[in-house]
Structure 1
Amino acid sequence: MSLAAQGIDTGDTAWLLAATALVLLMTPGLALFYGGMVRTKSVLNMLMMSFVSIALVTVVWLAAGYSLAFGDDAFGGLIGNLKHAGMSGLGPDSVHGTVPTLLFATFQLTFAIITAALISGAIADRAKFGAWLVFVPVWALLVYVPVAHWVWGPGGWVLDKLGALDFAGGLPVEITSGASGLALALVLGPRLGFKKDAMRPHNLPMVVLGAGLLWFGWFGFNAGSALGANGLAAAAFLNTLAAGCTGLLGWLFVEQKRDGHPTTLGAASGAVAGLVAITPSCGSVSLLGALVVGLAAGVVCSYAVGWKFKLNYDDSLDVVGVHLVGGVIGTLLIGVFAVKEMTGGTEGLLYGGGLAQLGKQLVAVVAVGAYAFLVTYGLGKLIDKVLGFRADEEHEHTGLDLTVHAETAYDHGVLGHGAPVGASPVPSAQKVKTQA
C-alpha cells in the first residue's frame, strides 16, 4: 500500500460511496417528479431531459469540469486549472481528505448532473430536445463549474475571500438552477395556452414517488457533504429530515388557509422547498434553526410559485418559485441562525454574530444569481439563434413524446391532446355507436 493510500479512512469512504449513489438516484427521482407534473403528451420528453443530463454532464465533468472546479486556483478565485483534465494524475491511491480523490470527484459529479437537470422544469413542454443536448454540457462548463470553484474550490473567492458559507450547494445547485431556469423561460417564452388552459399534473402518485426519491437521495446530498462518517454528517442528516417536514407542513398550512384544501402536490412541493432551503445551511444551523429554515421555505415558496402569473414568465414546473427562492432563503438564513458548534466559529445574527455574516451571504446570493442568469440568457439566445430552442408550434400542440421520440407514455396517449385529467378514452366501437 502506498503512503497516500494509508491516509484513506475506510469508514468515511464507505459512507461517501453510499452518499454518491444516493445523490445519483436523485436525478431519476427528479425525472419522475417532473414527469408526473406535466401533461401526458410530454411525459417521456421530461424524463429524457433528466436522464440524458446524466450522460452529458458526466462526459464534460471527466474531460475538464472537475479540474476547472476543484483544481488549484488559476485566476483570482474565479476558476481552477486544467492539471487534472481527463482525470489525469488521479489514481486509486490519490487522496482528498480521508477519501479517494476519484470518489470525491464522482460525488461532486452527481451534484453537477442534478443541477443541470433541474433547469429542464422551467422549460417543460416546449424545448427542442436537440437544443437541450447542446445546452447542457456548455452550460455545465460556463455556469456550474465556475460557481462550484467559487464556493468549494481551493482559492475560490466566495469561500476564501468573501467568507460566505454554503455547506451542500445552495449557491452552485439551487440558485444557479433557479436563476438559469428563469433565464431560459424568458428566452423560450410561455407555453401555448399559458394562463388560459388548464395544465394540471397528469400523475400525482408519480410526483409523490419522485419527491420521495429526492428526499431519500437528499440525505446523501447533505450529510454526504461532510465527506466523512462523523458527527457533522449526523447533524446534517437530522437537519435535512427536519426541514423537509416543516417545509411540507408550512406549504399545506398556506394552502389550507388560502385555498381551503391541502393538496398532494402541495405536500410534495413543500417537502422539496424545505429540502432546498436546508441544503446550504444544514452544516451551519442547529436543529431549531433547521426547523425554522424549512418552515420559512414552505410558506414563502408556496406563494412564490404564483409570481409567474403576475409577472408573466412561464416557469413551467416552478424551478424559480422553489429552487431559486428556496435557495435564497436557506443561504441568507445562515447569516441569522448559524451556530459556532456547527461552523467552528461563525455565528449568525441571533447568536451574537451581528450583521456581518448576513451581508456576506447576501453578496454571494446576488453575485451567483446574476452570473447564472446573465450567462444562461446569453447562451440560450445564442442556441436559439443558431439552432432554434423553441419547439415547433405543431410539435408542442401534438406533444413532444410523439413528435420527438416517436413514443407515448401510455396506451391512451390521446388523453394528452386536450382531454381533462382523469378522462377515459372512448373505444372506437363506442365512438361509432355514439355517432350513429
Structure 2
Amino acid sequence: MNTYLNKFNDSIKNTLFSKLPLNEQKFIQNKSLKLKFSFQEIKQIIDIARDLKTWNEPGIINIFPEHEQKKVVFSRLRKTYEDIRSKPNSYVNFKLKNISQEQKYTFKTQAKDGFGLGLCPVASEKTRCCNLLTLDAVESCGFDCSYCSIQSFYNQNTITFDSNFADKLKNLNLDKNKTYHIGTGQASDSLMWGNREGILDALFLFAKENPNVILEFKTKSDNIKYFLQNEVPKNILCTWSLNTPTIIQNEEHLTTSLDKRLNVARKLADKGVKVGFHFHPIVQYENYLDEYAKVYDRLTQMFNPQEVALVSFGTLTFIKPVIKQLRSREFKSKITQMPFENASGKSSYPDATKVEMFKHAYESFNSWHPKGTSFGAYSKSESNTVFFYLCMEGHDMWNKTFGYQYSTNNDFERAMLSSYAKKLNMEFLI
C-alpha cells in the first residue's frame, strides 16, 4: 500500500490535482489505491475531473463506474467523459464562476528588444494562410475571452507598451513597390487602449507615410473615439470580431456587446472607413446555427457590400499549452467541451462540423458574393466585392465550404490584397 501511495503521490506532481475539491481528491486517491491505476491513467482521471468542473457538468464522483477490474473502469469512465464532451453544448442554466466584472490590470511602459513585426503566429504551410504580418503595438489584452491564447504567451494582468514604438515605426524599412497587409490585433486588442502612450498617433502617421500598407485594426471594443476625432487614412481597415450574444455573454468576458460592436462599426462606415468582420471562433452549441444566422442577417441589413472589405470564418483550434492553461483557470467555460480531432497538429472540431458551420456562414452572405463570377473573381473584383476567407483551416476545407480553393498561400495572399486594394481605392503592388 505504501509503495503504491508513493507512486500515486509521484503521479499527481505537475498536475491539477491540488485544484480539485477535497472530496474529489480523496475519491481519486482511494480509487487509485484500490484499482492501481497507472501514472498516465491517474493524470487523465485528474484532467477529466477538472474538465467536468469547468464545463459545469456532473463531477467525477457522479460518473465514476463501479467495477472491480481497472481496465473496465477506466474504459467506461473515458466513454462517459467523451459522450459528455461530444454532446451539443447547452448554455441554458449555465452558471458563470469567478468571472471579473471589471478590468483589473497594471500598465508598464518599457523599451523592448526587437520590433515585433513578423508573420502571424499561427501561420503554417499545413493550413491555408494569408501571410498576414503582425505588429505587436501592445502586449497582452484587457479582455478575458475564455478561448484566447494570448494568456498563454503574456502575463494577463500586465499590459506592456513599447516606449520606442513610434521611433521603430518610423525606421521600419519597407519596400515601396510592394503591398503589405499588417494587423495590430494579434497580441492585444487593437482599439481598447485608445491612444494611450501615443500608439494610435504613431500608427496613423505610419499609415499616411506608407500608402502601400493596408493597416488593419481588429477589435472587440467600442472605443472608436480617436477614429471619430481624426482623419483616418484611406489605407486603414477597422474590423470587428463578432459572435452570438450567447457566446459573448458566457465566453467573451469583459468585451463589449454585439449591439455596441455593430453600432460603432456603423459609425465608422458612415465616416467612410472600410470595415470588416471576423467570425472566429464560430462555436457549436444547441441551436447555434439559428443564432449565428441572426447575426449574419443583421450585418447584411446594417451594411452594404461597398462598405465591407472582408468577412472571415474560423473556429476553435487549440494547442496543448492553451488547453493546459484553460484547465488551470478557476472559471466555468464550455469552450473545451467539444470533440477533439487532429487538425494539422492541433485540436479542433471534426471536419463534418466545420463544413456545417462554414458552409452555413458563407451561404448566409449570398447577397454579398461576387455575381456572375467563380473562383479567381477577387483578382478582377469591383469595389462592391466582399472578400470571404477561412482562417487557419486546411486546404481542402475551402472547396468543401466555399466551392473553390487556392493552390498556395501566396495565391491566397495575392487575391486578398488585390481585393482589399480595390476596396480601399489603392494601387495593388505585387
Task: Using structure 1 for the length normalisation, give the TM-score.
Answer: 0.24
Task: Using structure 2 for the length normalisation, give the TM-score.
Answer: 0.25
Q: Which structure shows the higher helix fraction? A: 1
Specify the structure having the higher radius of gyration (Cα): 2
Query: Relative contact order, CA 8 A, sep 6+: which one is greater?
Result: 1
Q: Which structure shows the higher strand fraction? A: 2
